[in-house]
């Protein structure tokens, strides 16, 4: 577990960017305002994205292509039925890029079994606890050797 203030959250995103590969899915869980988009901003900044990173709650999926590794940033908060996901074509993104998914629970239990699962929880002191669940395909890649706290 890491306990992260906001600058450390950006560094955690950079650490994730450093190990991300095409085909990867990262699930980002945590309550409203936990800092999921903040972590994604850290990933995108480290990959060379310079513009805004809006929360994709309304667009549902926001692609970023002109960076070192194409990223699709998805927010499934408004998905009510996992069947709606097929229309989004999220998995198409995995051929040459990675997928970062907020509110992955909305996709159902069986979605993306090989994903790295990251979870953010607010702490009483205002920082965020970052915990993880690492599948086989991520062993040796997460957690990275350098702790951002």
Ligand X SMILES: Nc1ncnc2c1ncn2[C@@H]1O[C@H](COP(=O)(O)OP(=O)(O)OP(=O)(O)O)[C@@H](O)[C@H]1O
Residue number, 22 or 63, with CB nearest to ligand X: 63
Among 51, 124, 126, 145, binds ligand X (CB under 6 A): 126
Minimum CB distance to ligand X smaller for 36 or for 117: 36
Q: What is the C-alpha separation between 82 and 108, in angstroms, rounded?
A: 6
Angstrom distances, CA of residue 34 to CA of 38, 53, 56, 135:
9, 16, 15, 23
Q: How far is the CB of 102 from ligand X (least distance, A)?
A: 6
- Using the rule CB under 6 A, which residue among 30, 42, 97, 148 binds ligand X? 30
C-alpha Rg value of the chain to the nearest Å: 14
Site for ligand X in 34-93 (CB under 6 A): 34-38, 55, 57
- Burial class of residue 99, CB neighbours in 10 A (0-12, 13-18, 19+): buried
Which residues sit at the interface with ligand X, rule CB under 6 A?
Answer: 4-6, 9, 30, 32-38, 55, 57, 126-128
């Amino acid at each position: 577990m890491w306990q992260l203030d906001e600058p450390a959250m950006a560094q955690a995103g950079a650490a994730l960017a450093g190990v991300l590969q095409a085909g990867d899915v990262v699930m980002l869980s945590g309550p409203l305002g936990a800092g999921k988009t903040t972590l994604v901003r850290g990933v995108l900044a480290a990959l060379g994205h310079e513009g805004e990173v809006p929360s994709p709650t309304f667009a549902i999926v926001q692609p970023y292509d002109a960076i070192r590794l194409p990223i699709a940033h998805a927010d499934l908060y408004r998905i009510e039925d996992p069947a709606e996901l097929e229309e989004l074509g999220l998995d198409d993104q995995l051929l040459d890029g990675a997928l970062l998914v907020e509110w992955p629970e909305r996709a159902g239990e069986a979605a993306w079994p090989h994903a790295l699962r990251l979870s953010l929880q607010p702490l009483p002191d205002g920082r965020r606890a970052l915990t993880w669940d690492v599948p086989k395909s991520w062993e040796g890649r997460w957690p990275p050797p350098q702790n951002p706290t």
